[in-house]
Amino acid sequence: MAEHILLMIYPILLMVLTFFGAKRSKKGELASDFMKPAQTKLIQGAACMAVVIHHLTQHISKYGYANKGPIGIFNYIGILFTAIFFFVSGYGLITSVYNKEGYLDTFLTKRLPTVLIPFCLINVMGVLLLAVGLGVRYTVSEALSDIFGFTLINSNGWFIIEIVIIYIIFFAAFTLFKNKDVALLVVSVAVLLLIIYSYNQGHDANGVKASWFKGEWWFNSTITFIFGMVFARFKDAISGFCNRHYRIILVITAILFVLTVAASIYTVIRYGYYIEGYVGPVKYGKLLTLISQMAACIVSTMLVIILNMRITLGNKALSFISKISVELFLIHGYFLEKIFGSVRMGDMTRFAVVIISSVAFTVAVSPVIRWIVNKVTALLSRKKVYNDTLEGAIAKKNREKMVKTWKMLGSVAALLCCIVFFSLTIGKRLIYMIQFSTETDAIADAKVGDVVKWGHFDTDRRPGRERLEWIVIKKDGNEICLVTKQGIDGCWYNQKHEAVSWDNSDIRQLLNSDEYYDMFSNFEMDVIIEKNGDLVSLLTTDEAMEAFNDDADRELDITDEAELKGTNINTLSKVDKWDMKGYRSSWWWLRRPGNEADVYAPVVTVNGEVAEHEKEVNRTGGAIRPVIWIELEK
């Protein structure tokens, strides 16, 4: 459509914003401002605007599901612009710590306020927007959690959380290790562990707030922080070599850029981060996607470096955007999602409205935020003035000794926290690996009717999740069907009282969401296979008849947590039969095969009978008894 083509005006305007007024160095000469702070700041400003276009494109195209023409490529290349932020951060830190004497003395007092104060102040604005503008009810603890970022009302805030963690790791390593190259290696390993940890956390459950370390944006572009550090450490050698062979390096980098970006887009579309191990022919599609995206981030960042060797950016508009890039990065999400997200308007109009309003609001609040940042930074960096007496000299020396001691203790504490953090992560993965091996051996030897363990779910009223028990109800070669021994949850079949099929039911959507996927480890998820379009399902009426010998076997006990959530229970009718042992039976949902819609959904009654027209779809209190199929190696 013509409107889709017209959307390309925004990337074109971004190109104009970036390169207007740019100057090219003389033939064979390295640009005089190559990778200097002023240049890297301008590059970040352009990257920030590209991120805004990326998020707008995701919004109008439903993350790539709706065809919006050529601008749709921005769905898949947002990581390339985030990679620039990570690269510049790593590059700037190493450049400073190697070249500035005493850089670490004021590192935390200058670096952290620069990102944390805008983050918290903009979160305050977000809380006010939700509470006053949208009527969201807040408790004091919830508001504080949102303001300080323990819960992310603004999903774009993930970058601030991650970069602060990396800053602390960086400070701890370079304080503890006098050999700077050793410290650089330690930081690189720590960042790699952070990537691995985030990679293994999966994704957010459906909801309005983002969680820490969940989602591929937490790790797919982080690798360029290490690239930035390494490039800064060997800048003279790398830039000298590239400058001497500039043309060939530029051609090779451009070709690699096209190939790696194309490969990353292909793997995201074909495999992605959501379907590894249970959809598609490649078992390690998630890992393949990560590798291809990291390669694209490194190569695209290298292309920016190569271009900056000859091209010096510089114009007032880009300079202005670069000065407010942090605030704009955090603010634009509110205008995109919370304010204009549900307002009907054309795509061209939406781009213009969100960009203009985001920039305008940022311009209005940025001076206040910058003023507060400067005041706090100055206060934290203030040094006490001592007189020239012996007493003053002793006091100064004692103070410096105390500061050095506390700095060392803080660094040790930070490093220990990192070690414990990553040890727990690796330990957790090792435990899951051992459990998976034990589970699969037991299931392989199990017979139909045996009880096995698989996954974790909250089954009692204590904190944490417990091992979940399943009944083997069918074995077909190396494919095994499991149903939970107990009812583990409870809700309606569909929220609205309307004729609905299984395919369109709310309960199907719930079962096939992160809320249920999260009960399985990555190892377990790898061998769960899709049946009829579902990874987690319910028994059909026929399957419920075949899987159990009689009505008594179909009677269902429910967990404490399921009872707490309001699942229907019937204890009185079973007092005599179960000798008052406290068993709680409940009716539980089945599914009707095919796409037949009905206002009633099939269930198994409290007495174990299969009934097709007893419970309306919106009846609350029905127990959920999930079903999965797993495929073990032959």
Report yes or no: 322 and 44 within 8 Å, Cβ to Cβ: yes
Q: What is the pLDDT of residue 577?
A: 46
Which residue type sits at 409? Answer: L
Long-range CB pairs of 3-7, under 8 A, 24+ apart, other chains included: 3/346, 3/347, 3/348, 4/67, 4/68, 4/69, 4/70, 4/71, 4/347, 5/69, 5/70, 6/348, 7/68, 7/69, 7/71, 7/347, 7/348, 7/351
Q: What is the pLDDT of residue 279?
A: 41
Nearest one of 268, 267, 293, 270 to 280, comparing CA atoms: 270
d(CA 405, CA 490): 55
- Model-level pTM? 0.66
Distances (CA, A) of 97 to 153, 181, 239, 413: 34, 11, 20, 21
d(CA 218, CA 188): 16
Which residue type sits at 532? Answer: N
d(CA 118, CA 132): 21
Q: What is the 3-state secondary structure (H, E, C) of 191-256?
A: HHHHHHHHHCCCCCCCCCCECCCCCHHHCCCCHHHHHHHHHHHCHHHHHHHHHHCHHHHHHHHHHH
d(CA 166, CA 521): 27
Report yes or no: 213 and 198 within 8 Å, Cβ to Cβ: yes
Could you tell me the mean pLDDT of each successive run of 10 residues in the chain, 634 residues long? 84 94 88 91 95 93 84 92 96 93 85 90 87 74 85 86 93 90 94 90 62 86 96 94 93 96 91 56 74 96 95 93 92 88 86 93 90 85 56 62 60 59 61 83 89 86 77 90 90 88 89 84 86 89 89 85 77 45 72 84 89 85 91 78
Q: What is the pLDDT of residue 260?
A: 96
Q: Is 295 helix (H, G, I), strand (E, B) or coil?
A: helix
- Provide the residue ranges of all domains of the chain, joining segments of one domain with +: 447-631
d(CA 139, CA 180): 46
Question: Please, what is the Cα angle at 437 between 434 and 439, to 5 degrees?
Answer: 105
d(CA 620, CA 623): 9
